[in-house]
Structure 1
């Protein structure tokens, strides 16, 4: 069996009974001179696009058959990855479900059936041009973790994403109980593009969540570049825990499954200036243990520089819940911190052991810096469902 490529918009292969006798012409391949219309020697012409070396990426692979029908099409890359696809009605064409990725060589095996019932197989290949720029991403939460009911799926991109709708189409979220949710695009606190998926309401305990980011072969735009791989993560939602912080009463209440577990005396941010706390719903981002806190990193000059125990991050801008024994005289009495939610060593140790990443902190108070922004940690819960859904590139 032999075949020949036509270096035009497609690669054409003419198939005879046992051996292909072909002559390439502009736009296709001519049948053998002795082929008779409707006769046994009438060939099948197979076309494949993209074609050749340095072909354009970001397009589906399309296979066509003239003079016969397609029995099967197999498209594989050098690593053995396969592009699945579908045959059109009449079986005269096949289109891949995914787009061809940049810098990749694909082998295409096509099995056809001639009009008089003969089966013929042909193989060809093409290579796409390499990407000038590659975009990558980071995912939260981590794979195979158990998180709280407020934890969103969060995707942060290394480079800008201009083609947000094209990217969002490739992000598939599957839940074990059909949870309603939506993607929403935000500007991360780092300045990068970010897209989060949050449920309409807090997750139900026990929900299993999977994200398939089928981005290989997707162009994020001129400044962002191509994605050259897929990503996958999954997590489970733990018990329903909600932390309610009342800065006016200087009280923190931990609730589990709708029941009060413990109330803790706290001291929040000092009223009247830059040391005030944020209000709204924050999501516990990380349990960081004992860390150094330096006021210069959050724009508060030399107000403090100390090691702090049982530190639980709530925002990228530096609001934590943590042990603050130096403020013991103010717990339950006055807000005198530099913006964090402080409590005693013993209460902080207990609380640190009870909460998990993803637990929502619902914070209220009369004198605060304002509501936590969507990109300052996980602030999506501070938008109504309608406003959040409007941030989707597909539904907004």
Structure 2
């Protein structure tokens, strides 16, 4: 008796695996990736796709440009986005076999990658992948001026950004900075070395601001390399309004200043400025008021004048980083309007200092003219952008043109 034939077993057809598989060529601690399902090629062999850095290194570090490569076919589309839906721009090259990002990847960011490819027989595939960049080892931070969100400031106030660490790629940083106004004010970015020695970039209008102008700054710096692999970790926004036009004209020769509001002279005030010598003379130039500091102690040793004075003064209005102020100087009251006999500051009577202090705001320009043995102050001694004429200021941009 013949044994019964073995039952015929129907094998389920093997389902082809994803033909388009993104193969992240990543190193430990650099990027992490997780794959998603991919559609099978409808015809022919699968197209293989891999990720790497554009410089050829297989370990993609934050700051590298991302490269997606295909073998056995070509890429038809690659879309890379961050968690906010912003695309990492890029383009196809080498006949469609390579896609390269136009901008570098940024630290501590999860990117979603969607790639489509076609093989020689017309088979198409789509795959979704994600990868996360590592946190940056080195960070850069900044300080904005004006420093208060929604502040009302004077007509000479620039948008000023001072960086904690050197900015060696100034163009890369500047192209991520944008100033907007509600009236199309013309202005430009310019780089200076702050009095403190730090890198600083200011946006100043061509002429004094028009009163009432609404100003906004968007510094989209999150993930931007300021140079040497030192990144910014956030974006910055600032909004402020320009107040009434206050201009304080300070004449060292007549020893009188005039306070004007919206072009009309409001008050004439006598003062005493610095002694007429190289060590004590008051600087000339245009000085946007940096700060209203109230009552402070002034010590001559902090500005290189030995032990000449150590006084507490009120109504302190800061004009330069080197220590020039307008302030109440009651000990010099008998000399105001008659002789310049201070250590470089603009000394006022108590009553006049109280009045001026109550009127001025940060950003109001003090226009100091007349004879001075020390001459014009350096442009970085305070917010001295107005020390430079407009054509020269435009040349301080790190970009071919700025607005």
After TM superposition, is the score higher than 0.5?
yes
Q: Secondary structure at the match of 2:207?
A: coil
Q: Does residue 173 of structure 2 align to residue 171 of structure 1?
A: no
Give the C-alpha shift of residue 86 in structure 1: 5.6
Q: Secondary structure at the match of 2:132?
A: strand
Q: Secondary structure at the match of 1:83?
A: coil
**Structure 1 unmatched ranges of 5 or more:** 21-30
Match of 1:83 in 2: 86
Q: Does residue 198 of structure 2 align to residue 192 of structure 1?
A: yes
TM-score w.r.t. structure 2 length?
Answer: 0.81
Match of 2:43 in 1: 36
Match of 2:393 in 1: 388
Distance 1:107 1:132 in 2: 19
Q: Secondary structure at the match of 1:333?
A: coil
Match of 2:326 in 1: 321
Q: Does residue 123 of structure 2 align to residue 106 of structure 1?
A: no
Query: Residue deviations 1:137-176, cap 9 Å, x none?
Result: 1111122111101001111111111111111111111111
Change (3 A) 1:45 1:174: farther
**Structure 2 unmatched ranges of 5 or more:** 1-16
Larger radius of gyration between Structure 1 and Structure 2: 2
Q: Secondary structure at the match of 1:149?
A: coil
1:232 is aligned, of 215, 234, 237, to 237
| Maintained 8 Å contact 1:184/1:388 | yes
Q: Does residue 128 of structure 2 align to residue 137 of structure 1?
A: no
Change (3 A) 1:12 1:326: closer
Match of 1:23 in 2: none
Distance 1:99 1:105 in 2: 12
Change (3 A) 1:119 1:270: same
Give the C-alpha shift of residue 275 in structure 1: 1.1
Match of 2:310 in 1: 305
Q: Does residue 9 of structure 2 align to residue 6 of structure 1?
A: no
Distance 2:330 2:155 in 1: 30
TM-score w.r.t. structure 1 length?
Answer: 0.82
Change (3 A) 1:149 1:47: farther
Change (3 A) 1:16 1:127: closer
Distance 1:62 1:240 in 2: 53
Distance 1:382 1:6 in 2: 57
Change (3 A) 1:332 1:201: same
Change (3 A) 1:36 1:152: same
Match of 2:63 in 1: 58
Query: Residue deviations 1:230-268, cap 9 Å, x none?
Result: 212121111111110001001011111111011111110
Give the C-alpha shift of residue 13 in structure 1: 8.2
Q: Does residue 188 of structure 2 align to residue 182 of structure 1?
A: yes
Aligned residue-pair number: 370
| Maintained 8 Å contact 2:328/2:348 | yes
Q: Does residue 178 of structure 2 align to residue 161 of structure 1?
A: no
Match of 1:207 in 2: 213
Match of 2:11 in 1: none
| Maintained 8 Å contact 1:55/1:129 | no
Q: Secondary structure at the match of 2:23?
A: coil
Q: Does residue 363 of structure 2 align to residue 346 of structure 1?
A: no
Distance 1:110 1:197 in 2: 39
